[in-house]
């Protein structure tokens, strides 16, 4: 068992904290170990006090096989599994051990056993993580060839289509989506590098950044354009009305600071929900205001008592009961919005004092308010 340095330091601190107590002169912790086909042994992990002498395993120290009134052994046990033992030496005469000392040593052995159990669990989790990382690398390697082939076939198809501009445009969109998949795959390759998890966001956050190239200039329009194209294609496939901005305000065309790239993630999440839960004949779309973005649908209106509940983690509204989902989409979208200094809410009867929304009479309007003055690089 390869023990981490932090674990060994923790064990030493545990033993030191008990040292010089009620006649105790020596504490030694042994960890059980057994290789396949060999007899189990107990190896020294730590001792108090720290000395220069080299401690050996129990099997290799004959003196430990002779009983002594000044020595006791305490098992380090997790359920029915023996993880190790704690050896205690004292200067007590006649082996008269106080009950309080025995109780404290039993508590120490329980604490040490918990430390060992946590360390073993940590090591097992690390093995699982490394195995999964290797599997991800294999999958990425295997996917690159068919993705490259799809791109090749798409280009060949464009040549075959000749002057059929409408069909060519569809194939070109397929190539764009293929490029996006490649970008996501590139982000997966980063899993073998140390990851600083965004703890302020939560475990639900996708580790697929919308803007992988930090040197590339981004705007709100450039972030939303592929999402809008995807929405337009979905609407056409489902034979539903689709609306998107024809005019873009200056703030949506100016270069963005990199951290605001999550706007794309929020918008994509909201549009995905709209397509998933709105009736098949309901109009869906996106509108731009002077201070934010609206994603709307003209399907069944979300009930008033669910206006806030739908943003709670795990809550699923009445429209979502028969659909697959986890109930974290809107929770995450609002959390991301607040993290960048904005907000996300469901408008009630278009309850927002912006003239550009007065004519937007839709059943459900999600309004992503943004900190316009802070957006730009």
Percent of the chain with pLDDT over 90: 28
Where residue 196 falls among pLDDT bands split at 50, 70, 90? low
* Domain end among 123, 157, 177: 123
What domain range is 68 assigned to? 5-123
For the CA atoms of 345, 349, 351, 357, the dihedral, rounded to the nearest 10 degrees, stands at 90
CA–CA separation, 186 vs 90, rounded Å?
61
Residues in the chain, how many?
A: 377
pLDDT (mean) for 264-283: 89
Q: What is the pTM of this model?
A: 0.56
Whether 224 has a pLDDT exceeding 90, the answer reads yes
- Identify whether residues 370 and 229 lie together within a single domain: yes
Largest Cα–Cα separation, the chain: 103
Residue 166 counted as domain residue: no
Residue 327 counted as domain residue: yes
Digit-coded pLDDT (tens) for 295-344: 999 988 988 888 888 888 878 766 666 665 566 788 888 999 999 999 99
- Identify whether residues 222 and 355 lie together within a single domain: yes
pLDDT (mean) for 9-37: 83
**Which pLDDT does position 344 carry in this prediction?**
95
Which residues share a beta bridge with 54?
none
Question: Using H for helix, E for strand and C for coil, what is the string for 215-268?
Answer: CCCCCHHHHHHHHHHHHHHHHHHHCCCEECCCCCCHHHHCCECHHHHHHHHHHH
- Identify whether residues 100 and 226 lie together within a single domain: no
Digit-coded pLDDT (tens) for 138-189: 787 778 778 888 888 888 898 889 888 888 988 888 888 888 788 777 777 7
CA–CA separation, 350 vs 352, rounded Å?
6
- Identify whether residues 108 and 220 lie together within a single domain: no
Digit-coded pLDDT (tens) for 109-130: 999 999 999 999 999 998 998 8
Residue 64 counted as domain residue: yes
- Please say whether the beta carbons of 299 and 277 come within 8 A: yes
- Please say whether the beta carbons of 263 and 227 come within 8 A: no
Digit-coded pLDDT (tens) for 225-237: 988 988 888 888 8
Distances (CA, A) of 347 to 164, 308, 373: 43, 11, 23
Residue 38 counted as domain residue: yes
Residue 106 counted as domain residue: yes
Residue 155 counted as domain residue: no
CA–CA separation, 85 vs 285, rounded Å?
67
- Identify whether residues 238 and 361 lie together within a single domain: yes
pLDDT (mean) for 248-263: 91
Residue 63 counted as domain residue: yes
Number of domains in the chain: 2
* Domain end among 99, 123, 147: 123
* Domain end among 97, 123, 149: 123
CA–CA separation, 244 vs 235, rounded Å?
12
pLDDT (mean) for 88-108: 87
Whether 7 has a pLDDT exceeding 80, the answer reads yes
Between residues 44 and 114, which one has the greater pLDDT? 114
Where residue 55 falls among pLDDT bands split at 50, 70, 90? low
- Identify whether residues 249 and 112 lie together within a single domain: no
CATH number for 286: 3.30.565.10
**Which pLDDT does position 252 carry in this prediction?**
94
Quote the mean pLDDT of the chain: 82
- Identify whether residues 105 and 220 lie together within a single domain: no
Residue 185 counted as domain residue: no
């Amino acid at each position: 068992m390869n023990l981490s340095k932090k674990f060994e330091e923790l064990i030493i601190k545990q033993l030191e904290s008990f040292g010089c107590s009620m006649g105790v002169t020596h504490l030694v912790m042994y960890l059980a170990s057994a290789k396949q086909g060999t007899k189990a042994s107990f190896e020294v992990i730590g001792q108090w006090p720290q000395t220069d002498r080299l401690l050996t395993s129990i099997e290799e120290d004959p003196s430990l096989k002779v009983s002594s009134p000044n020595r006791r052994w305490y098992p380090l046990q997790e359920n029915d599994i023996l993880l190790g033992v704690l050896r205690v030496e004292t200067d007590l005469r006649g082996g008269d051990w106080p009950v309080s000392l025995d109780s404290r040593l039993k508590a120490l052995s329980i604490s040490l056993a918990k430390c060992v159990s946590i360390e073993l669990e940590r090591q097992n989790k690390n093995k699982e993580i490394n195995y999964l990382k290797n599997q991800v690398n294999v999958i990425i390697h295997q996917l690159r060839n068919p993705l490259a082939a799809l791109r090749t076939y798409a280009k060949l198809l464009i040549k075959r289509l000749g002057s059929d501009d409408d069909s060519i445009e569809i194939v070109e969109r397929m190539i764009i989506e293929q490029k996006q998949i490649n970008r996501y795959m590139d982000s997966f390759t980063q899993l073998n590098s140390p990851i600083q998890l965004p703890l302020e966001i939560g475990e639900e956050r996708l580790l697929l950044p919308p803007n992988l190239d930090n040197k590339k200039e981004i705007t709100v329009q450039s972030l939303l354009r592929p999402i809008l194209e995807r929405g337009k294609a979905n609407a056409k496939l489902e034979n539903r009305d689709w609306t998107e901005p024809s005019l873009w305000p200056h703030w949506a065309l100016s270069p963005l600071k990199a951290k605001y790239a999550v706007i794309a993630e929020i918008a994509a999440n909201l549009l995905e929900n709209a397509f998933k839960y709105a009736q098949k004949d309901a109009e869906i779309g996106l509108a731009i205001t002077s201070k934010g973005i609206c994603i709307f649908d003209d399907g069944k209106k979300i009930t008033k008592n669910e206006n806030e509940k739908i943003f709670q983690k795990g809550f699923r509204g009445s429209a979502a009961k028969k659909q697959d989902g986890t109930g974290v989409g809107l929770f995450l979208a609002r959390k991301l919005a607040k993290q960048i200094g904005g907000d996300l809410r469901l408008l009630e009867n278009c309850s927002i004092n912006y003239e550009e929304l007065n004519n937007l009479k839709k059943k459900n309007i999600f309004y992503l308010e943004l900190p316009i003055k802070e957006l730009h690089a």
